[in-house]
Amino acid sequence: MNLGQIAGEICKVAFPIPEEKFIGKSIGIAICTLSSIELLKEISQSQIMDKIAIAARLFSENRGIDELVKYVNQNPNLHTIIVCGNEVSGHKTGHALFCLHKYGVDDSNRIINSVSPDPVLRVSKNEIINFQRIKLVDLIGKTKLEQIIV
C-alpha cells in the first residue's frame, strides 16, 4: 500500500462521507459533483434524478477515477457525464478526468498531462478506451442546481 492509499484510508475513517452516490431513474446520463457534497444532496432530492442514471462525487484522481471508468464500462447505455461542482483542493480530480478522456494514460498508467499528485490508475487500457467514447460536459465550478442542465 502506497502513501496515497494509506492517507485515503485514514481520511475515510476520520472524515466519513456517507453520500457517495444516488441512483436515478434513467440510463444515459450521469452527474459527477466532484467535491460538492451539498450539490450532490440537492441533486439527489430533485427531479433531475428522473433524467439521470446516477449522481456521485469524485474525490480522488486515482481510485475514484478507476471506479468511474469501471462504472462506464459496466453501463454501456451511459453516453454523457456532466462534471460539475468544485474541484477537490490539491487533487484536481476534474482536471485529471478530462485529461484521461482527452489524452489517456502513459506506459505507467499515469494520466497524461494531469496536474494531480498521484494520477495513476489500475484500470486497463481497453477500459480507458471504452470510457473515452462517452461525452464529458465541463461544468466545473458550477455549484447551483439551476446551473446543471440535463
Residue 121 lies in a domain: yes
Instruction: Write out the residue range of the structural domain in which residue 109 sits.
Output: 18-147
Over the chain (150 residues), what is each successive 10-residue block's mean pLDDT?
A: 51 51 95 96 96 95 95 96 94 96 98 96 97 98 91
Residue 12 lies in a domain: no
> What pLDDT is attached to residue 106?
98
Residue 8 lies in a domain: no
Residue 7 lies in a domain: no
Rounded to an integer, what distance in angstroms lies between the CA atom of residue 29 and that of residue 8? 28
Residue 4 lies in a domain: no
Residue 3 lies in a domain: no
Do strands 54-56 and 29-32 pair parallel, antiparallel, or not at all (unpaired)?
A: parallel
State whether residue 56 is helix, strand or coil.
strand
> What pLDDT is attached to residue 20?
84
DSSP 141: T
Number of domains in the chain: 1
> What pLDDT is attached to residue 1?
55
Q: Look up residue 110 and give its amino acid.
A: R
Do strands 135-140 and 80-85 pair parallel, antiparallel, or not at all (unpaired)?
A: parallel
